[in-house]
Copies of this chain bind each other. A is one copy, B any other.
């Protein structure tokens, strides 16, 4: 034994306790070497039944719990993974978190949760923390294309990661994404079916891949349906919860032959806030304007259905993303990167229910 391994002690009315029980304490009490204790903990087969039982009894007696920090220092693995999401108040992302947590725990990993509020800066600070914490891998919904520099830090340090919900221009990696083109087509097709000819898109920022793809697909879908593209009906904002009065006002103030009869929102928060803004202006949804969006704002399905949505399989995205990450960490994934694209489900509700 190299050190003395003296333990700090506390004296209480009930006796004297050591604050932390180490492998040395167990070894001493069991009259074996620390290494033998280590072998018992790690279920090495090179241990006699007798010794194993003796050591296990002492472990039980002293209520010994191995110190992960110390172990990680040698093993280079922490069994920590991080989930970095861009908006912790959004049910879409918390559902992803649920899926990711389930898979992580099942596989023996603990989840460090980080929230970036869609800010590249916040994301950058968080990634620095993660590198310092030596997480085994990162499942991340990047804040936008500005995340490239942050992801490069992970690449440089060889920390495996999987992108979720969004990809980042210039970065090749494992991906779990929604099917933006198909989902957009479905939503536009539904609105067209409902008789709409002037459809506006309130999109997220073009720095986020989702927004770019949805815009692109939106334009194609309009053309496909023989509708013309009116630039005034395309507006960019951000994905987070906010007041959309100004934006919605701009749309509504258009001349009657330009004013949209339907608004497509690029995510659930934009959808919900669009409805709130419309109502504030005494505009009826869906009577005057129909609204549909990507992602369900409702954490619980079908209790108060109102908003027509294309629901992406958030739970599965989290679960699968974590699964791919763990495979990558443990070296069981194929060397080339994988891309999983999951379909969404169109849920038609009152907000687009228009009997024309």
Chain A residues at the B interface, C-beta cutoff of 8 Å:
19, 63, 65-70, 72-73, 78, 80, 83, 88-91, 94-95, 97-98, 101-102, 105, 110-115, 126, 128-129, 131-134, 156-158, 241, 269, 272-273, 275-276, 297-300, 302-304, 306-307
In the complex, the answer to whether B94 meets A89 with C-beta atoms within 8 Å is: yes
Smallest CB–CB gap between A66 and chain B, Å?
6
In the complex, the answer to whether B300 meets A241 with C-beta atoms within 8 Å is: yes
Contacts A/B (CB < 8 Å), 20 sampled: A65-B132, A67-B134, A69-B70, A69-B73, A69-B134, A83-B113, A91-B94, A94-B97, A98-B115, A101-B114, A101-B115, A105-B114, A105-B115, A105-B126, A110-B114, A111-B114, A273-B300, A275-B303, A304-B304, A304-B306
The residues of B that contact A304 with a CB separation of less than 8 Å are: 272, 275, 304, 306-307
In the complex, the answer to whether A156 meets B63 with C-beta atoms within 8 Å is: yes
The residues of B that contact A115 with a CB separation of less than 8 Å are: 98, 101-102, 105
In the complex, the answer to whether B110 meets A111 with C-beta atoms within 8 Å is: no
The residues of B that contact A126 with a CB separation of less than 8 Å are: 105
User: Which of A65, A275, A303 has the most chain B CB atoms closer than 10 A to its own CB?
Assistant: A303
Given A69-B69, A299-B89, A129 and B112 touching (CB < 8 A)? no
The one of B88, B132, B272, B299 in contact with A68, judged by C-beta atoms closer than 8 angstroms, is B132
In the complex, the answer to whether A91 meets B91 with C-beta atoms within 8 Å is: yes
Docked complex Cα distance between A126 and B106 (Å): 11
The residues of B that contact A112 with a CB separation of less than 8 Å are: 110-113
In the complex, the answer to whether B98 meets A89 with C-beta atoms within 8 Å is: yes
The residues of B that contact A298 with a CB separation of less than 8 Å are: 298
The one of B67, B110, B157, B299 in contact with A299, judged by C-beta atoms closer than 8 angstroms, is B299
The one of B69, B98, B302 in contact with A276, judged by C-beta atoms closer than 8 angstroms, is B302
